[in-house]
Structure 1
Amino acid sequence: MSMRGQFITFEGTEGVGKSTQLANASRTLEELGVDYIVTREPGGTPMAEAIRELLLAPRDEPVNEITELLLMFAARAQHLHTRILPAINAGQWVLCDRFTDATFAYQGGGRGVPKERIALLENLVQGEVRPDHVILLDAPVATGMARARDRGELDRFEQEDLEFFQRIRDVYRERAIAQPSRYQVVNAARSLEEVSGAVSGLLSEWVTQSAVR
């Protein structure tokens, strides 16, 4: 199947099932005959993965919010220009675990970095590049964090308190309301079968739309 590559990101707070739905999305695209790659942020290339390790490792030294923000965009610049854009330009679909919406939510909502500063770096690193579609997996913070704790040892972000993640969820939901044509909100508190069915349905719809353009 030949079509323009699409850039689809999966967003949400901790424990909402992004990894599970990325696997589900992969199976769906395979069944539909779509060439795709799966990647993640921060990370996606060797250099960006090294930055990811710096960002996620628990440490005694306080991490300044601007340091965190700049590292996020440093990893993103490498990831975008060496992996994401080449794939899209080659006609592949890109399924990405988080992108810049996560920065507005985590560093903006969670850490309190002004959104204007984030937008400045977004434009510097990405130009006009934005995801074609954002799947926001949304669930109450307590539900997601209970699932995250069940996975095992928590990283530096997962060790934050519930209020931190509530601020993140609030920003995600605000962005979804402000950009309804780009965001699709999926209730991730439902059963796995229901969530997977909703995500697969969205992908099938987008594949159909892309094929007729």
Structure 2
Amino acid sequence: MNSGRFITLEGGEGVGKTTCLEAVAERIRAWGREVVVTREPGGTQLGEGLRALLLHGEHVCVEAELLMMFAARVQHVREVIWPALARGCWVVSDRFTDSSYAYQGGGRGVPAANLRFLEQFLPGALQPDLTLLLDAPVEVGRARALARGGTDRFESEALVFQERVRDAYLERAAAFPERIVVIDASGPAGAVRCHLLAALEQRCASWL
């Protein structure tokens, strides 16, 4: 019986995670695996409600933002991720806990100890098997996000915030090289997708 695997896509604003997400899922399906595609914040009724507040709410303080993120995440793990993995499915998620270390930790300045404490509430202390980190200069990502229009709370943050987020992501990648693969997302979408899928195949070869 095939074991389920948990793969996440991470990165700052405008790096192309959403467009790469389905490409990853399609490749895994081509390997004959059932795939559940999901996102954070979101993935459940509770999570989607909190997502609306987190992305578009007004006057959300740092502590409330942090706790809403983890409330959505715990529900997501219990309701979607764990059951799918238990069935032997592969789960591909747009963001997971690394995002909190980058955005609430790096961006907002929440101490890492607080993040690690909240992580303990995740069922089974769940961690991804593989994280694909799409990385691009902040100016590149910001231009792409603005070109899409309708920016949310995080996309509208100042460049210095976005730089702190990027730095925190790269620090996570350096700390966990066995799990996190950095993908250069500064080039054309097609080239980024090719690099991403090559990394996916290399890391997943032993699981197939």
- Category of TM-score, reference length = shorter chain: over 0.9
Alignment match, 1:32: 31
CA distance in 2, matches of 1:172, 1:208: 25
TM-score, normalised with respect to structure 2 = 0.96
Alignment match, 2:84: 87
Aligned pairs for 1:1-213 within 5 A: 2-59=1-58, 62-211=59-208
CA distance in 2, matches of 1:199, 1:188: 9
Does structure 2 retain, via aligned residues, the 8 Å contact 1:58–1:155? no
Note the C-alpha offset of 1:58.
4.3
CA RMSD of aligned residues (A): 1.2
SS of 1:104's equivalent in the other structure is: helix
Give the letter for the 2:179 counterpart.
R
Task: Give 5+ residue unaligned stretches, structure 2.
Answer: none
* Aligned-pair identity (%): 47
The C-alpha deviation readout for 1:16-70, integer Å capped at 9, x for no partner, is 00011102112211222221010000000111101111111142xx221111100
CA distance in 1, matches of 2:137, 2:177: 20
Length, aligned pairs only:
208
Note the C-alpha offset of 1:127.
3.8
SS of 2:125's equivalent in the other structure is: coil
Does structure 2 retain, via aligned residues, the 8 Å contact 1:29–1:203? no
TM-score, normalised with respect to structure 1 = 0.94
CA distance in 2, matches of 1:58, 1:86: 31
Give the letter for the 1:42 counterpart.
P
CA distance in 2, matches of 1:104, 1:184: 16
CA distance in 1, matches of 2:33, 2:202: 13
